[in-house]
Amino acid sequence: MKNIKAIIFDAYGTLFDVNSAAEKCKNKIGNKWEFFANYWRTTQLEYTWLRSLMNRHKNFWQITEDSLDKSMKVYEIDKSMKDELLNLYKVLSTFNEVPEVLKNLKKKKFKLAILSNGTPTLLNELVKTNKLNNIFDDIFSIEEVGIYKPNSKVYDMPIKKYNINKNEVAFLSANTWDISGGGNYGYNCIWVNRNNNVFDNLDYIPKYEIKNLNQLLEIFN
């Protein structure tokens, strides 16, 4: 992948494990914890898309709480666990390989940034908690444009900030719809397929498909 000036990362599911909050409570939730975590995540994403379509914006933290309320009802999770789960969501863990890979990429002098649905407060807290403070040049939140991915206004933010061309960006996400959004916008997209999923039919094929971020070091060697 040539002429890349900026490597842009999605946050949730790509750098940070969205299931880690529920996993830390699995002794209380029981064997259904993973089904519950996946349902919470799916509902959260559905709410971002629906609110964008309805032009009824709420920030990502409000949506996270709304989707948790529904998920707890569906899976009959005790209401007393709500605050614990929300607090754990603020400090999600990275996937194991993430810190070391980011440190290596930083040495290569690329612009490194996050582009996420998360609020600035949430994203900064995640970066701080996981000791990634000195890694990223920028943290771009959709709150700057008031609409969620995959709206093109979101993908436009790094281009305007860095004054670079779309094809000078490598964009990474574990979410197929996000890769399709970024790819159709004009980014060079790398799909982080951690769970052996099947890619969408949305007029874009990723430039690369990788299992985890370790393979990035081969692409940008």
DSSP characters for 91-133?
Answer: TPPBPTTHHHHHHHHHTTT-EEEEEESS-HHHHHHHHHHTT-T
Cis peptide before 150 (omega within 30 of 0): yes
Residue (of 165, 159, 127) closest to 2 by Cα position: 165
**Is 78 noted as a catalytic residue in this protein?**
no
Q: Is 49 exposed, middle or buried (0-12, 13-18, 19+ CB in 10 A)?
A: middle
SS3 at position 144: helix
83 CB-near residues (< 8 Å, 6+ apart): none
What amino acid is encoded at 4 in this protein? I
Q: C-alpha angle with apex 110: 106 to 115, nearest 5 degrees?
A: 90
- Of the candidates 10, 17, 78, 156, the residue annotated as catalytic is 10
What residues are labeled active site? 10
